A = this chain, B = another copy of it.
Amino acid sequence: MKKIKIKKPKLTKKLPRIKRKNQAPGTLVYTGEKEGQDLHIEVIDYKPDFYNSFSTKEIEEAFNKKGTGTITWINVNGLNNIDAIEQLGKHYNLHPLILEDIVDTGQRPKIDEYQDYVFVVLRMLYHNPQGDFVSEHVSMVMGEDYVLTFQESDGDVFDSVRQRLSTAKGRIRQRGADYLLFALMDAVVDEYFTIADDLGEKIEDFEDRLFVNKNDEDITQEIQSIKKEILRIRKAVSPLRDIVSRMENTASTLFEESTKTYIHDLADHIIHVSENVELYREMSRGLMDMYMTTISNKMNEVMKVLTIMASIFIPLTFMAGIYGMNFDYIPELHLKYGYFYLWGAMILVFLMLLYYFKRKKWL
């Protein structure tokens, strides 16, 4: 009996814990895990007929873009640099609670509208170039002529937006900061589709594996880990419905009417992706049932082998046992062909049992 190997799968990524020390509200505490991150600021400045972009590590260099008639996108990477973020907050006159939320990586997606700007928190899910799954906290502040985005580290899903800005492709350079905000959110949501599709593929591959697989691998934990991944995506997507619906219906003058058509389209995408996630959730529920029946079927097979072997050979052994007895007088023992008669009887019993199992379809 070989020991059944339990291939220990890479333990599922733990759900993130929330660091929360009893701080006064409005106190900035970076709660993520990327402590040593350097500050990296990317500034893109554009008008329909103008485009300028540069990188810097000094927050002050990003400030002189205000009031030049251009739209400015300041993308801050490295949330652990709290001083720089506070400086930026002061420059753009941001509420302390916003700054707190920017650096609180456990923050739930939400939208807050203020007098002069709109604050949006999202969760960005993507696979980085190394193929690892990344779930990153992204905050965006949109004012009249600027969009500020804050990310934990370099690497994001905004490359297509950058490219459209630099090449003036599409209508993005003709539009205001609200359209830029929409474009960035759209890029985040588009990535959800990829993530959700990957998940769907995983579930369907699992169904096939469960069906074909006849060895003893215990896949309970892998199923549980898929369920957890679905829960994580849901947690990122489901608050978005509210956020976008509030953007659609906002009375804020920061949003132009023509942009709202695009936001409505974004809302459709979000409903679509969250419907897909629900669908995968339903499907994943069936996986455990499938696995249970697989186990039970295997057990049935094992039991049948045992039953057939034992039912055939136990009676035959009994027959042989009879004629191994040492009674003084057992007439059959002295028949000339007694031994062969017995073989005949045993073969008969064997065939009858075989027929019985055949008729029961156990063979």
Report if A288-B293 is in contact (Cβ < 8 Å); known contacts: A17-B197, A20-B193: yes
Report if A297-B300 is in contact (Cβ < 8 Å); known contacts: A221-B290, A333-B326: no
Binary per-residue interface labels of chain A (249-279) against chain B in the complex, 1 for a CB within 8 Å, 0 otherwise: 0000000000001101100100110011001
| Distance A295 CA – B294 CA, assembled complex (angstroms) | 10
| Distance A299 CA – B271 CA, assembled complex (angstroms) | 44
Which parts of A301-321 form the interface with B (CB within 8 Å)? 301-311, 313-318, 320-321
Q: Nearest Cβ in chain B — how far from A336, in angstroms?
A: 7
User: Which residues of chain B come closer than 8 Å to A164, judged between CB atoms?
Assistant: 24
User: Which residues of chain B come closer than 8 Å to A268, judged between CB atoms?
Assistant: 108, 110
Instruction: Identify the stretch in A67-75, A83-91, A210-218 within 8 Å (CB) of chain B at 4 or more residues.
Output: A210-218
| Distance A309 CA – B314 CA, assembled complex (angstroms) | 8
Q: Are B204 and A14 in contact (CB under 8 A)?
A: yes
| Distance A264 CA – B221 CA, assembled complex (angstroms) | 39
Which parts of A169-227 form the interface with B (CB within 8 Å)? 169-172, 182-183, 186-187, 190, 193-194, 197, 200-201, 204, 207-208, 210-212, 214-216, 218, 220-221, 223-224, 227
Q: Nearest Cβ in chain B — how far from A272, in angstroms?
A: 4
User: Which residues of chain B come closer than 8 Å to A4, judged between CB atoms?
Assistant: 301
| Distance A227 CA – B204 CA, assembled complex (angstroms) | 13
User: Which residues of chain B come closer than 8 Å to A159, judged between CB atoms?
Assistant: 22
Q: Which of B18, B95, B183, B207 contacts A224 (CB 8 A)?
A: B207
Q: Which 6 A-B pairs have the closest CB atoms?
A: A24-B170, A22-B160, A320-B321, A323-B325, A306-B307, A327-B339
- On A, residues with C-beta under 8 Å from B are 1-2, 4, 6, 8, 11-12, 14-15, 17-18, 20, 22-27, 95, 97, 106-108, 110, 112, 157, 159-160, 164, 169-172, 182-183, 186-187, 190, 193-194, 197, 200-201, 204, 207-208, 210-212, 214-216, 218, 220-221, 223-224, 227-228, 231, 235, 261-262, 264-265, 268, 271-272, 275-276, 279, 282-283, 286, 288-311, 313-318, 320-339, 342, 356, 361-363
11 more A-B residue pairs beyond the given contacts A1-B363, A24-B172, A313-B317, with a C-beta to C-beta distance below 8 A: A2-B363, A20-B194, A22-B190, A26-B170, A286-B288, A295-B296, A306-B306, A320-B325, A325-B326, A327-B339, A328-B338
